[in-house]
Amino acid sequence: MGGKKKPTLSQMAKKAEKEKSQTQKAKKEVKKEEAPSKRTIQTLDERVFQTIARDIQNVKVITPYEVAVKYGIKISTAFKVLRALRDRGDVVLVAKGHRSEVYVKKD
């Protein structure tokens, strides 16, 4: 019998205040999310490819992760770049794992 008890006036006021503050926080979070994040290059320009090819000659060992971080490109694109350099004969594949490849410059 009866049913659910109605909230008191102070409880209703607290609930309204809490909802109001949550909506304000949500608006602030949306504004923060709109800030530009780090951009990555999906397609590779020939100049960037040549820069990578030139800079790889100065390191002993190179991985796709290092290329991706240094040049701001996707890791999948870094894999493609290193494989293209391998096909050209600039680098040699030393070790290949499930998720990564290790290259060295050709002597």
Tens of pLDDT along 45-95? Answer: 788 888 988 998 899 999 999 999 998 888 999 999 999 999 999 999 999
Domain ranges of the chain: 7-36, 46-105
Decide if pLDDT at 3 tops 60. Answer: yes
Average pLDDT, the chain: 85
Q: How far apart are CA 103 and CA 101, in angstroms?
A: 7
Q: How far apart are CA 43 and CA 19, in angstroms?
A: 45
Per-residue pLDDT at 106: 86
Torsion of CA 62, 75, 77, 90, to 10 degrees: 10
Residue 107 near residue 90 (C-beta atoms within 8 A): no
Per-residue pLDDT at 79: 93
Per-residue pLDDT at 40: 55
In this structure, CATH architecture of domain 46-105:
Orthogonal Bundle (1.10)
